[in-house]
Amino acid sequence: MNSIEVKNLTKKFGNFTSVDNISFNVKQAEIFGFLGANGAGKSTTIKMLCGILEPTLGDAIVEGQSVAKNPDRVKQNIGYMSQRFSLYNDLAVGENLDFFGGVYGLSNQKLNERKKWVLKIANLEGKENLLTGSLPGGIKQRLALGAAVIHQPGIVFLDEPTSGVDPISRRNFWELINELSSEGTTVFVTTHYLEEAEFCNNIIFIDDGKLIAEGNPKTLKTKYLDKPILEVECSSVIEALVILEKSPFVDETSIFGNNIHIIVNEKYVEEKQITALLEKQNNITVKKISKIVPTLEDVFIHLLEMDKKK
């Protein structure tokens, strides 16, 4: 059963094509990662899927409703949480929930029930009179997510929900996302933190409005990055990077912390090639070279480089 079915979705602004003929499916109750650089067309796509922006071409069926034909029906069945904190800081926690509940047509007993649920997941039980602005960031984020699903939608869209949140709160937030998904809610999430994307069941990458890769994190790493990837630990990282970039057995380089990741081709045979090359310069010493399992970040950078070369 699919929660979203996107078919040839396209959005043009004048001559500029923001979203270029993309198609994909999102299964019921899965956590679906939607990745892409800034300006790749992520926000435009989400706006279309939420029924607030009309597609130029193509369509998407969200929870059984067409975004092109019935955008208002779509809106009733979705939840949305933006990267900007979207609750009212000058209202109390309970007042915010009353408002969002009221907006989605909840009242009386149902509203009370759902308010209790949101307060529970945000760890704010008994604190509904606190002013929302006084809450710490992580709690605010959980409260915002709770408010976004107060009407129990089949799917919730999270647009960079964890930007600007500390690592522990981020981890807690993802536990909450897992909880929602296990209760049957589809979670459609965009993020710039690629280690978060590892938690997703399925991922798509878009660049320049085009879909360039899709699959679960494991297949993405094997299917799109079939060449070996090595981590080189050495001194004078920047100089080493310049040398490696130019050598014939290296396809791609990137810096990860104090290390260099290189993708090598068939001309690469053994570690000595690297050590010899780098240690010709007397100020570089190679400490360690190891073959590693690529991270999603490796795949992401690789895909963007490939797309650029085209």
Partner 1 sequence: MNLNRTRAIAKKEFKHLMRDVRLLAVLVFSPVFLLGVFGYAVNFDVHHIKIVVYDKEQSKISREFINGLTQSTYFDLIGYISDDSYIREVLDTKKAQCVVVIPVDLSQKFYSRQEAKIQYLIDGVDGNTANIIQFYVTAATYSFSSKLSSEVLARSGMRSFLPLNFEPLFWFNPDLKSTRFLIPGLIAMILIVTAAVSVSLSLVREKERGTIEQINVSSIKTSELLIGKTLPNVLLALLNATMILVVGYLLFDVVVKGSILLLFFCTLIFLIACTSIGILVSVISDSQRLAFSIATSLTMLPSFILSGFVFPIESMPVTVQILTNITPAKFFIRILRAIILRDVGVYAFWDQLVYLILFASALLTAAILIYNRKEKNN
Query: What does the binding site for partner 1 look like in residue numbers (CB under 8 A)?
Result: 13, 50-53, 72, 75-76, 78, 80-82, 84-91, 95, 98-105, 107, 148, 157
CB of 111 to partner 1, least distance (A): 10
DSSP letter assigned to residue 163: T
The minimum distance between CB 101 and partner 1, in angstroms, equals 8
Report the nearest approach of partner 1 to the CB of residue 50 (Å).
5
CB 197 within 8 A of CB 35: yes
Q: Which is nearer to partner 1, 81 or 122 (CB)?
A: 81
Element (H, E) at 60: strand 57-62
As measured in angstroms, the least distance from the Cβ of 104 to partner 1 is: 6
Structure tokens at 19: 């979203």
- Smallest separation, CB 181 to partner 1 (Å): 20
Minimum CB distance to partner 1, residue 128 (Å): 14
Q: How far apart are CA 260 and CA 276, in angstroms?
A: 16
Contact 211, 22 (CB under 8 A): yes
CA distance 143 to 128: 11
Which residue, 34 or 100, is less far from partner 1 as judged by CB?
100
C-beta of 107 vs 265, nearer to partner 1:
107
**Is the Cβ of residue 114 or residue 221 nearer to partner 1 in the bound state?**
114
Composition of the chain by helix, strand, coil, percent to 5 = 35, 30, 35
Crossing angle for the helix pair 137-148 and 108-121, nearest 10 degrees?
150
Residue 88 Cα distances to 6, 140, 142, 149, 279, angstroms? 33, 11, 14, 16, 59
C-beta closer to partner 1: residue 17 or 86: 86
Residue 153 or 217 having the CB closest to partner 1: 153
Helix (H, G, I), strand (E, B) or coil at 115: helix
DSSP 107: -
Sheet with 2-13, edge to edge strand ranges: 16-27, 2-13, 57-62, 65-66
Beta carbon of residue 52, minimum distance to partner 1 (angstroms, whole number): 5
**Nearest to residue 196, comparing CAs of 173, 213, 221?**
173
Entry field: residues in the chain:
310
